[in-house]
Amino acid sequence: MPATALKEKVSALEQMMMELAYESMKTDIALRDLSSEMKDFKDEMKDFKNEMKDFKDEMKDFKDEMKGFKNEMNKQWGDLANKMGTIVEDIVAPGLKGIGRRYFGLEEFDHFAIRVRIRNKDRSMIREFDVIAETNEYFFIVETKSTPRSDYITEFINLLPELPLWFPVLKEKKLIPIFASLHLPGELITYLTKNNIIAMANRDDGMDIYNTEVLEKLGL
């Protein structure tokens, strides 16, 4: 091969090598730029996740504060009603209406009365009942104590078999016995549950049933 042709081939090869080296260098630069951009993106996503976590923590704190506020307001409201002796009118009676809607599908009662004074069938005794409510099917009776004790529950249990003497209509309707207070300790709820009596007490959003299993025991 003539020296000139060989020189031209070597020169062309060197040119190709330079171009390959240049392209490789551009690729390396592009990869470094992409890697840097990906790192920036990951850092931004990390910052975003941290901001979202902070936001969630703030929302949780806010919800906890609102729950604490509601609990405190309910407590103050309950304490005030307790002191004024209006726990039945202000808390228990409205609470029973809410429970009627929530658990029995009742928009309203056919008859609803508080602090009802009734003379028994032979007119030998007069007794006051805190809340009485009726529908065509149910007869609700609520015993309310601001300071609940087991002996109050025992008295209520003993009263239940005698109720037809005070309310003859019970022969035609299903009795729904309820013991209510602002707060019911666990052992009293257990005692009520064993005797198929609904335990009603204050919760975050008002009065509620604390032993819903009794509804099933009562065939509801």
Q: Under 8 Å CB-to-CB from 213, ≥6 apart: which residues?
A: 193
Task: Verify that 106 and 140 share a domain, yes or no.
Answer: yes
- Looking at residue 84, its pLDDT comes to 43
| Count of structural domains, the chain | 2
For residue 2, what pLDDT band results from cuts at 50, 70 and 90?
Answer: low
For residue 109, what pLDDT band results from cuts at 50, 70 and 90?
Answer: very high
Residue ending a domain, among 84, 111, 126, is 84
Average pLDDT of the residues in 88-100: 89
For residue 191, what pLDDT band results from cuts at 50, 70 and 90?
Answer: very high
Task: Verify that 43 and 134 share a domain, yes or no.
Answer: no
Task: Domain of residue 167: give its range.
Answer: 87-217
- Looking at residue 73, its pLDDT comes to 55
Average pLDDT of the residues in 92-104: 93
- Looking at residue 199, its pLDDT comes to 97
Q: Under 8 Å CB-to-CB from 92, ≥6 apart: which residues?
A: 130, 131, 142, 144, 180, 200, 207
Residue ending a domain, among 84, 104, 129, is 84
- Looking at residue 185, its pLDDT comes to 92
SS3 for 133-160 is EECCCEEEEEEECCCCCHHHHHHHHHHH
Residue ending a domain, among 38, 54, 84, is 84
- Looking at residue 170, its pLDDT comes to 92
Report the C-alpha gap between 79 and 22 in whole angstroms. Answer: 84
Count CA atoms closer than 13 A to 99's CA, side-chain side: 27
Q: Under 8 Å CB-to-CB from 149, ≥6 apart: which residues?
A: 188
Task: Verify that 75 and 101 share a domain, yes or no.
Answer: no
Task: Verify that 42 and 97 share a domain, yes or no.
Answer: no
Q: What is the CATH number of the domain that holds 129?
A: 3.40.1350
Q: Cα 112 to chain center, whole Å?
A: 28
Sheet strand arrangement including 198-203: 111-119, 126-134, 138-144, 174-180, 198-203, 206-209
Report the C-alpha gap between 181 and 148 in whole angstroms. Answer: 7
Task: Verify that 176 and 196 share a domain, yes or no.
Answer: yes
Task: Verify that 15 and 115 share a domain, yes or no.
Answer: no
Tell me which H or E stretch contains 51.
helix 3-84
Report the C-alpha gap between 119 and 134 in whole angstroms. Answer: 18
Phi (first) and psi of residue 128, to 5 degrees? -105, 135
Average pLDDT of the residues in 127-131: 91
Minimum mean pLDDT range among 134-138, 194-198, 205-209:
205-209
pLDDT digits (tens, 9 = 90+) for 39-67: 777 777 777 777 777 777 777 766 766 66
Report the C-alpha gap between 50 and 173 in whole angstroms. Answer: 60
Task: Verify that 5 and 23 share a domain, yes or no.
Answer: yes
